[in-house]
Amino acid sequence: MWSRREFIQRSLLAAGVISLTEKFAADLVNKKDLIKVSILHTNDVHSHVDPFPDNHKRYAGRGGVQNRYNLIKKLRKENKNTLLFDCGDIFQGTPYFNMYGGELELKLMSKMGYDAATMGNHDFDNGMDGFLKVKSNANFPFICSNYDFSGTVLKDKTIPYRIFNKGGIKIGVFGVGIELHGLVDKKLYGNTKYLDPIKTAQKYADLLKQKHQCNLVICLSHLGYKYDGKKLSDSLLATKTSGIDLILGGHTHTFLEKAEKIKNKEGGTTLVNQAGWAGVNIGKVDFYFNKTSKKSLNLFDGNASYLEIK
């Protein structure tokens, strides 16, 4: 492929069309001509409303809703095609939760313009009644695809998937949660039925990509990044499914520098990302789509995914 690229590069150079740069691939289809969709995400914010104090050993001055919001606003200004998600454990971790049951956290997330969230195990900490009591403060949906709440007070209060449209790009989003049995007190999750995360993920990936023709499929997960042994994680889910472009994670409080590229079941690429804990980081993944039809792209290369993935 490189030789083909070099060939194009040389011929274009000879024709004086473009100048030589290291990022030749990016210049072939100038990124300005691409539609960029930015995905911003948090996880395990655990009620961290205020920034860490200035004398904090690790995260002095970092985090806090105001700082997060300033950053998010700046990123939205850079790209209007931006979505913001949270991957659960919004609750529990500071007295704000103990005192107000999550009301403030959800109010602030609504103000910050979250597009959707999924539930983590700690979001059950005040039981499903406790969650329901404050849920009206959220103006965004909770997307839970593998918790069957039909026999509980949360029946019809969450949705299994949602499709967003940014700059013409269709983005399908579903959510998988962690097994609550053994992790959360039974009385807190009651009759919630736990559905197989792999099967559920595949079902919604297929539905979104094939039936709804989504250009991008995103899974909001609270399974955890990676474990020793067979315990299901985002890394494992990525290899056992296909059609998911991005798994945003939580639960393990994993600080990744950037999204990790994983080969999925069909050999395609699934990215896995996680943004640490307490809102001291915001995760960011950008997807570029070409505006031109496949036909015009064929001028250069038959394979649309010929650009290098960073």
Q: Which stretch binds other proteins (CB under 8 A): 190-198, 219-227, 230-238, 302-310?
A: 302-310
On whether the CB atoms of residues 85 and 116 are closer than 8 A, the answer is yes
Instruction: State residue 49 phi and psi, 5-degree precision.
Output: -80, -45
Look at phi and psi of residue 46 and say left if phi exceeds 0, alpha if psi is from -120 to 50, else beta: left
Residue 146 and residue 176: Cα distance in Å, rounded?
Answer: 6
Choose, by CB under 8 A, the member of 17, 20, 99, 163 that binds other proteins. 99
Task: Give first-to-last CA distance, the chain, whole Å.
Answer: 17
Size of the site for other proteins (CB under 8 A): 76
DSSP for 211-255?
A: IS--SEEEEEE-S-S--STT---HHHHHHH-SS--EEE--SS--B
Q: Which stretch binds other proteins (CB under 8 A): 113-121, 139-147, 190-198, 293-301?
A: 293-301
Choose, by CB under 8 A, the member of 236, 297, 299, 302 that binds other proteins. 297
Residue 128 and residue 212: Cα distance in Å, rounded?
Answer: 31
Choose, by CB under 8 A, the member of 84, 106, 237, 285 that binds other proteins. 285
Within 10 angstroms of residue 132's Cβ, the number of other Cβ atoms is: 14
Footprint of other proteins on residues 102-141 (CB under 8 A)?
Answer: 104, 107-108, 111-112, 122, 125
Can residue 244 be called a binding residue for other proteins (CB under 8 A)? no
Which residue, 199 or 255, has its beta carbon nearer to other proteins? Answer: 255
Which residue, 15 or 294, has its beta carbon nearer to other proteins? Answer: 294
Footprint of other proteins on residues 193-212 (CB under 8 A)?
Answer: none
Residue 254 and residue 98: Cα distance in Å, rounded?
Answer: 25
Residue 119 and residue 178: Cα distance in Å, rounded?
Answer: 9
Can residue 88 be called a binding residue for other proteins (CB under 8 A)? no
On whether the CB atoms of residues 290 and 29 are closer than 8 A, the answer is yes
Which residue, 108 or 236, has its beta carbon nearer to other proteins? Answer: 108
Q: Which stretch binds other proteins (CB under 8 A): 13-21, 225-233, 236-244, 283-291?
A: 283-291
Which residue, 3 or 305, has its beta carbon nearer to other proteins? Answer: 305
Amino acid at 257: E
Can residue 216 be called a binding residue for other proteins (CB under 8 A)? yes
Footprint of other proteins on residues 22-61 (CB under 8 A)?
Answer: 26, 29, 31, 34-35, 49-51, 61
Choose, by CB under 8 A, the member of 65, 83, 173, 223 that binds other proteins. 65
Can residue 310 be called a binding residue for other proteins (CB under 8 A)? yes
